[in-house]
A and B are shown apart, each in its own frame.
Chain A
Amino acid sequence: MSLIVIRNVSYAYNETRNAVDGVSFDVKKGDYVTIIGHNGSGKSTLAKLIAGLLPIKEGKIIVEGKEVNEENIAEIRTRLGIVFQNPDNQFIGSTVKDDIAFGLENKQVRSQDMDAIIKEYAEKVGLTAFLNYEPQNLSGGQKQRVAIAGILAMKPDIIIFDEATSMLDPKGKKEIKKLMYDLAASGDDITIISITHDIEEVLQSDDCIVLNRGKLFMHDKPEKVFEDAEKLRQIELDVPFIEKVREVFAKRKIRLKANDLEGMVEELCRSGSKH
């Protein structure tokens, strides 16, 4: 059974063009799904529709058997969390622990239980030493970790990452990606939907959705998606480095079959020494 079912969903901000245009796909429970596409391809709009932050006007989205609409949204939100792009604009509390507490307060967790929960999830994201820190004393990566802790503390089944690493420095990117991979592998059956430009991350995911100008362009395993480099080029998307290597050598009539750089270098060595 699919955890999230998206059927013929369209959304328009203005009359000229649909930002999301007749998109349908399913997300299985426990999967790690990446969504790629240019800025303006409709990725973030789609994420907001799933999270009920925009009203669904055409088509429908079903999360855990419940249709996303005004009546169900409060309940669906308790099962679903979203990490946004800008680390500053989602830090609500004055300190790390206040921020993690924000969602708990909304969920009406008892005051006396909160400290234990806050500590547990701060530890999970490695911020135990920072509980009393204010946002201006944290790095971008740390702020995003606070956001993740705040969401995990609400024990969601689904987490959406909306370009959560794109504004971070390399160190921050690494931190957050590691957290995401750990979550995906944790066996807690958390379903992850990640909107990203990071090809390395896409290769780590179970399933990849490519959007172009609001439409579903491809939906397949990441390896399969990247196999067709030409098709991705059509919509000016980047391909993994390894595929680029395969391509430039193919142009020179050298076929490389390996699936990693080392293997390719090996292959080149072998064909080099033959002559």
Chain B
Amino acid sequence: MPIRFKALSHIYNKDMPYAHKALDHIDLDIREGVITAVIGETGSGKSTLVEHLNALLLPDEGSLEILDYEIKANEKQRFLKPLRKDVGLVFQFSEYQLFEETVLKDVAFGPMNFGYSKEEALKRAAEALKKVKVSEDHFDVSPLELSGGQKRRVAIAGILACDPKIIVLDEPTAGLDPKGSKEIIDLFVSLSRSEGKTLIIVSHDNEMVYNYTDDTVVLSHGKIVYHGPTDELFADKEKLKEFNMLEPQIVTFRNELIEKGFVLSREARTLEQIASEIAKQVKR
């Protein structure tokens, strides 16, 4: 069952003179088991959109169906906890959520809130930490003493340990260096591919979006202006221009090659793949 937004609107400061419609009648089906990027300029409504997915924000109009839950406007929510367990949200600068005395305890905090026993929670925490490659000698250290990149991993483990069915990432790599960013993204991509988890990533990084995501949603002023396969979006120069998007260099390269008459298959997205297809055409 996909995630389904039905004419969903969200208004900040409703009934106030400075009310602001952040989402405007959003109709959207997000596919299960794939990676979807949500992009758009700052203030376009990306974060507002994803914060509905685990009911941190509730719709003012319309509704949202996700997993077995349905969230309608103006209706009291009864299933907040199970929903938040099933939909894990990793915030921007997520390291700021760390607070426990030790790394292991901090990661176990979520599972314990969701009703796992202490032993079970700690076991899950240890497994999650292994997934994000935090070594065991760090388990008993205060999370506040770790480096920025390490903290981010611990925070992410804190969400993974709750075993969510859907993971939502709000700019997971903001503020990290290129190496740290790549490690985080690789982690999530392999998680999605190996465990079939639905992944929704809010990002400003077009190169990352192009390289790793299956579908893309483009928001502008609270409305959806594009939703479809990522590669189709990036192959369409007109659209990139219309949405004021920077073209990743790999896309420029690919498009220029095609323009000059080379034949590239749709699968040839990475530099490696492009080079191997082009090499055949050059040396024929």
Contacts and interface: CB of A to CB of B under 8 A. Distances in A.
Query: In their complex, do chains A and B touch, with some C-beta pair under 8 Å?
Result: yes
Interface of A: 38-40, 85, 139-140, 166-167, 169-172, 197, 236-238, 241, 244-245, 248-249, 251-254, 261-262, 264-265, 268-269, 271-272, 275
The 10 A-B pairs at the shortest CB distance, nearest first, are namely A248-B275, A252-B279, A241-B249, A39-B177, A238-B178, A265-B256, A169-B42, A272-B282, A169-B204, A275-B284
Contacts of B147: 39-40
A261 B177 contact: no
- Could you say which of B41, B148, B272, B283 has the most chain A C-beta atoms within 10 Å of its C-beta? B283
Contacts of A169: 41-42, 204
Contacts, number: 76
B76 interface: no
B78 interface: no
28 contacts: A39-B147, A39-B148, A39-B176, A39-B180, A85-B175, A139-B42, A140-B42, A169-B41, A170-B246, A197-B177, A236-B179, A244-B271, A245-B253, A248-B272, A248-B275, A249-B278, A252-B276, A252-B279, A253-B283, A254-B279, A262-B256, A264-B253, A265-B253, A265-B256, A268-B260, A272-B262, A272-B282, A275-B283
Interface class of chain B by DSSP: helix
B281 interface: yes
B33 interface: no
B225 interface: no
B184 interface: no
B116 to A, nearest CB: 34
Interface in B263-282: 271-272, 275-276, 278-279, 281-282
B174 interface: yes
B260 A269 contact: yes
B282 A261 contact: no
B256 A261 contact: yes
A87 to B, nearest CB: 12
Nearest to B284: A275
Contacts of B149: 39
B176 A249 contact: no
Interface string B147-184: 11100000000000000000000000011111110000
B187 interface: no
A159 B183 CA distance: 32
Contacts of A249: 275, 278-279
Interface of B: 41-42, 147-149, 174-180, 204, 206, 246, 249-250, 252-253, 256-257, 260-262, 271-272, 275-276, 278-279, 281-284
Contact of B281 (A38, A244, A272): A272
Contacts of B257: 265, 268
A39 B279 CA distance: 37
Nearest to A141: B42
A38 B178 CA distance: 8
Contact of B177 (A38, A241, A268): A38
A1 B107 CA distance: 55
Contact of A166 (B175, B206, B276): B175
A261 B252 contact: yes
Nearest to A241: B249
Contact of A171 (B41, B179, B252, B279): B41
